[in-house]
Amino acid sequence: MLTNFSEVSLFSYFLFSIRVSEMKFIYLTLLLVSGITDSRSEQFEVVGRADPVFAVPGEDVILPCSVNPSVSVVDMRVEWFRSDLKDSQLVHLYDDHEDRNTDQIQSYRERTKLVHQELQRGNASLKLSTVRVSDEGVYKCFIQSKSCFDEATVDVRVEAVGRPPVITVDGFDGSGGFHLQCESEGWNPEPDLEWLDSEGVGLSSETTETHRNTDGFSVKHTITVYDSGKFHCRVKLRHHMLETLIITTTDNRFISWRTSVILVSVFVVLIGVSGILVAVFAHKNREISFERDQLLHSQKIILQEALRNLRTYIADFSIFSAVKVTLDADSAHPRLIMSDDGKQVRDENSQNAVDDGEHRFNYYLGVVGKNGFSSGSFYFEVKVKDQTWWDLGVARESSNRRGKLGLSPDKGYWTVRRRVKRYWALESPRSVSLSLRVTLQRIGVFVDYDDGLVSFYEVESMNHIYSFTGQSFNDKLLPFVGLGYQWEYDWRDNNPTPLIICDDY
């Protein structure tokens, strides 16, 4: 028993010290456990994408990046950079709750975006707008918290479909042959270019050139041919293919084509020389301005006539195969309005009181021509100017016209399409996006039934659009035009502009 106050006080102090020590130990233990828990709670893994991300020039693409588990990264640092460039240059930076792109690569300015609402869900994917060929490369997504960091890689491949190949006659040799040069540009990655004869047999190129710039690859191949016939220049890239056909002949038509080229050159030189002479003479005597204008006007008419003849000779296949096409009103969808002469068709968005025969389109706004062809070749033209939603080409007479259609060769349709600002060739099994230099105004459709060929051309510019080759028709072919599906009406601009069958070749 404690017998005095000093002993009691000493014992109480001893007990108090023990309790304080225990409390400190418990506090330190809780602090340590809490720190370990917090540290573990911030552990995460950054996840990208194992497979390459494919992008198309001019469109937008999402570069995937997220954390696992899906914790918020709002309070973290998110950095996107190009690891394949020197010094791993910055593409986009998010730090301290805002975007900080002062040091961003100049070419990415105003084209990158993180969706801040998605950061709360652990999604740090980057949206890259208006893709360019130069955007192709290896990107890294780096995410850092106070106690943890990780990164993931995203491989971006830009797939650019170039311009349709252009065939030119690049001179003649002394043995009776002439050189054909085919060139196409704007592709990425490097495409395959090949020459084929009328039988589809590949021809060896004598010269091959490949160049690359910021817009992609350009390729150029040259061959020498000695016989008349059809020669195809085909450019292929993965699921895309563009082709141009040239028909050569050793008869007078080809000679006339060469003569026209010479005449055009002569006229251009004459106009240039006479223009200089007139300018000098006019400087000395202002009173002859009227005679000068008359002379230049006459020369302009001559040049235009020569150019018109040149176009006629170049397009000789259309001259000898042109047919008069009349649309079959009995096949037209009830919403379509036909002109009395069967040359024009438009959509009025209202049903007409007509019989719903088995040969009438009842879901797709289409119509076919009255007359079909089961041999030889034929050519017709359709004016599509100012209409932004259409399909046209040829169809088997026996192809299905009821319900939802697949406008592709395996369904009996060989067509090209426009939807607002985009053009497509409806191939099997998937459509081919067309990269065209011009807005299509008037389209020529050339069919060689025996060779299984359907080619499309922009008439005014004489640009090749697309060709279906090696086809098997096995039935009568009919001209075909259409304005899409009736349920697409609300997506369109309600454009009443008609599609017009042209006869003024």
- Using pLDDT thresholds of 50, 70 and 90, give the confidence band for residue 245: confident
Give the Cβ contact number of residue 141 at 10 Å.
27
Q: What's residue 303's pLDDT?
A: 43
Rounded Cα distance between 119 and 345, Å, is 52
Sheet holding 207-213, edge to edge: 166-172, 178-187, 216-225, 207-213
Q: What is the mean pLDDT of the chain?
A: 79
Tokens representing 86?
Answer: 């020197």
> Which pLDDT score, from 0 to 100, does residue 482 have?
94
Helix (H) or strand (E) holding 100: none
- pLDDT for res 253: 35
334 pLDDT above the threshold of 60: yes
Between CA 414 and CA 419, with CA 417 as vertex, the angle to 5 degrees is: 160
Q: Report strand pairing: 137-144 vs 149-158.
A: antiparallel
Could you read off the pLDDT of 457-493 as tens digits, one per residue?
888 877 788 999 889 998 999 999 999 887 765 566 6
Give the model's pLDDT for residue 425: 93
Query: Which range, of 274-278, 311-315, 409-413, 444-448, averages the lowest pLDDT?
Result: 311-315
| b/e burial code for range 420-441 (CB count within 10 A of at least 16 → b) | eeebbbbbeeebbebbbeeebe
- Report which DSSP code applies to 369: B
Sort residue 276 into left (φ over 0), alpha (ψ -120 to 50) or beta. alpha
Query: What percent of the chain shows pLDDT beyond 90?
Result: 43
Calculate mean pLDDT across residues 251-273. 39
Among the listed ranges 35-49, 289-303, 417-431, which one has the minimum average pLDDT value?
289-303
Question: Could you tell me which CATH class the domain 45-158 is placed in?
Answer: mainly beta
Strands 98-99 and 90-95: antiparallel
Instruction: Tell me the backbone φ, ψ of residue 487, rounded to 5 degrees.
Output: -75, -10
280 pLDDT higher than 60: no
**Does domain 166-248 bear CATH number 2.60.40.10?**
yes
CA distance 322 to 373: 12
Query: What was the pLDDT predicted at 200?
Result: 84
> Cα(first)–Cα(last) distance of the chain, in Å?
129
Tell me the pTM: 0.45
The whole-number average pLDDT for the span 381-403 is 93
Same fold yes or no, 45-158 and 166-248: yes
**Considering only 90-94, 218-222, 224-228, which range has the smallest mean pLDDT?**
224-228
User: Mind listing the pLDDT tens digit for each residue in 127-156?
Assistant: 999 999 999 999 999 999 998 999 999 999
Query: Under CATH, which architecture does the 321-502 domain have?
Result: Sandwich (2.60)
* For the chain, domain boundaries: 45-158, 166-248, 252-314, 321-502
Contact 192, 236 (CB under 8 A): yes
| Token output for 58 | 């001019």
Give the count of beta carbons closer than 10 Å to the beta carbon of residue 377. 17
